[in-house]
């Protein structure tokens, strides 16, 4: 059936079956209604679920944060061309100014403040490596800000797996994601 095709779900036919499901790093609410039932069914029926990274593990989050930083004593101003650094700084000032108007009433009702949200996303930006600053800047849009507080699909599924008491694990370590990105040279970034 058409609704079972192109679902990003692959099945390994064995007893019991195993599945591979390709996720995307966006708020789950943007894609959940488009995920076919066969994928949701496979998740529900699974007893063990492995994710790219264990986003529920504090060590993973801490290691991801650490890997983004420039070597001790360096800062972004030291590694970016002066004009690019100034443009970046102006853009972040603009985002900080606009963020209160980008937030939803629901976010404000949950006690989210624009300054807190800006610092959670962009805090310490001057100590980050350029590739991570680029990824950060790409997520500082009105649409992305409005969906802050909604977990990305991977995290949503991990939280669901925990709630359903499924055994979980990760197929990658933080270093396996960090080192390739941190290995990009400036022109590649």
pLDDT at site 6: 60
The overall average pLDDT reported for the chain is 89
pLDDT digits (tens, 9 = 90+) for 89-139: 999 999 999 999 999 998 888 888 899 889 989 989 999 999 999 999 998
Q: How far is CA 11 from CA 25, 43, 46, 49, 104, in A?
A: 22, 12, 12, 14, 40
The confidence band for 70, taking pLDDT boundaries of 50, 70 and 90, is very high
* Per-residue DSSP letter, 3: G
Cα angle, residue 186 at apex, residues 77 and 59 outer, rounded to 5°: 80
pLDDT at site 158: 93
Alpha helices in the chain (DSSP H): 28-31, 37-45, 58-67, 76-79, 82-102, 105-109, 114-122, 130-138, 142-146, 153-163, 174-182
Question: Per-residue pLDDT averaged across 24-47, rounded?
Answer: 89
Contact 166, 42 (CB under 8 A): no
Contact 37, 95 (CB under 8 A): no
Range from 2-11, 68-77, 132-141 carrying the lowest mean pLDDT: 2-11
CA distance 162 to 159: 5
Question: Per-residue pLDDT averaged across 184-189, rounded?
Answer: 79
pLDDT digits (tens, 9 = 90+) for 154-174: 999 999 999 999 999 999 999
pLDDT at site 57: 87
Question: Per-residue pLDDT averaged across 56-71, rounded?
Answer: 90
Provide the CB-side half-sphere exposure for 131 (13 A, CA). 17
CA distance 135 to 124: 14
The confidence band for 3, taking pLDDT boundaries of 50, 70 and 90, is low
pLDDT at site 102: 95
pLDDT at site 7: 66
For residue 29, give every residue at least 6 positions away whose Cβ sits within 8 Å of its Cβ, in sequence order, or none. Answer: 147, 150
Instruction: Flag whether pLDDT at 2 surpasses 50.
Output: no
């Amino acid at each position: 059936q058409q609704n079972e095709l192109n679902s990003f779900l692959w099945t390994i036919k064995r007893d019991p079956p195993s599945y591979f499901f390709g996720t995307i790093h966006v708020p789950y609410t943007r894609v959940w209604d488009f995920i076919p039932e066969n994928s949701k069914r496979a998740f529900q029926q699974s007893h063990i679920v492995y994710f790219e990274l264990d986003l529920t593990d504090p060590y993973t989050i801490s290691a991801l944060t650490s890997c983004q930083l420039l070597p001790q004593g360096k800062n972004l101003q030291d590694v970016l061309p002066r004009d690019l650094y100034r443009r970046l700084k102006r853009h972040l000032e603009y985002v900080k100014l606009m963020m209160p108007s980008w937030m939803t009433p629901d976010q404000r009702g949950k006690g989210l403040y624009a300054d807190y949200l800006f610092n959670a996303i962009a805090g310490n930006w001057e100590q980050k490596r350029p590739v991570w600053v680029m990824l950060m800047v790409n997520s500082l849009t009105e649409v992305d800000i409005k969906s802050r507080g909604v977990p990305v699909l991977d995290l949503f599924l991990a939280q669901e797996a925990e709630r359903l008491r499924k055994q979980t694990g990760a197929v990658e370590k933080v270093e396996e994601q960090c080192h390739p990105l941190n290995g990009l040279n400036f022109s590649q970034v």
